[in-house]
Structure 1
Amino acid sequence: MKNKKSESSKTAPKNTPQPQREFVFGKKNYLFMFIGLAVIALGFILMAGGASDDPNVFDEAVFSTRRIHIAPMVVIAGFAIEIYAILLNPDS
């Protein structure tokens, strides 16, 4: 008589292949995400500065066109690139 435990262990293969895990996004998506992050970082770098060495003297450089208009538009463009990267179909 055969043991039932040995029969059940013989029917189930020991080396069953594990399903391969895939990334949620494709290579194209990650490329656009890194580009978007770089554009956002550039926007924040453009916003930096404008401080005065002497705290008693007000520096008008804080109101420059670069800091008030250009830098926020660059940051918003970076966020738009990020949204595009998320919605991009990697198969196309």
Structure 2
Amino acid sequence: MAQQITKPATPVKTSAAAKPVAKQTDARPVSFVFGKENYRLFIISIAIVAFGFFLMSGSTDIYGTTKIVIAPLVVLGGFAVGFFAIFKKAVAKVD
């Protein structure tokens, strides 16, 4: 059984070509989530954590105070500085 092609009862109305909408440019300056001080603190925290892991390394005196107490505290301090660097609010400069 073949399908029959039918024409619409009324002609289809097409609208005139729409004019493109001009995008308005926003003149606000770009603001980043983190400021320069945040990145500086984050790099310092990475250095502190790396120093703490360096204190933990070594092959002699496994149960020394440096490896058991001081190095983990240094690493935790580095993580604390990292959290502070992330949560510190960037100060916006007003010109």
What TM-score do you get using the length of structure 2 for normalisation? Answer: 0.66
**How many angstroms apart in 1 are the aligned matches of 2:32 and 2:19?**
35
**How many angstroms apart in 2 are the aligned matches of 1:76 and 1:84?**
12
Structure 2 unpaired stretches of 5+:
1-14
- Cα RMSD (Å) of the superposition? 2.5
What TM-score do you get using the length of structure 1 for normalisation? Answer: 0.68
CA contact (8 A) 2:33 2:90 kept: no
CA deviation profile, 1:43-87 (whole Å, cap 9, x unmatched): 001100125xxxxxxxxx111111111101100110110111112
**How many angstroms apart in 1 are the aligned matches of 2:70 and 2:25?**
54
CA deviation profile, 1:3-36 (whole Å, cap 9, x unmatched): 831x512xx22x6537875432111111111111
Asked whether 1:43 is paired with 2:55, we answer: no
Higher RCO (CA-CA < 8 Å; seq separation 6+):
1
Matching of residues 45-84 of structure 1 within 5 Å: 45-50=54-59, 61-84=61-84
Alignment coverage as a number of residue pairs: 77
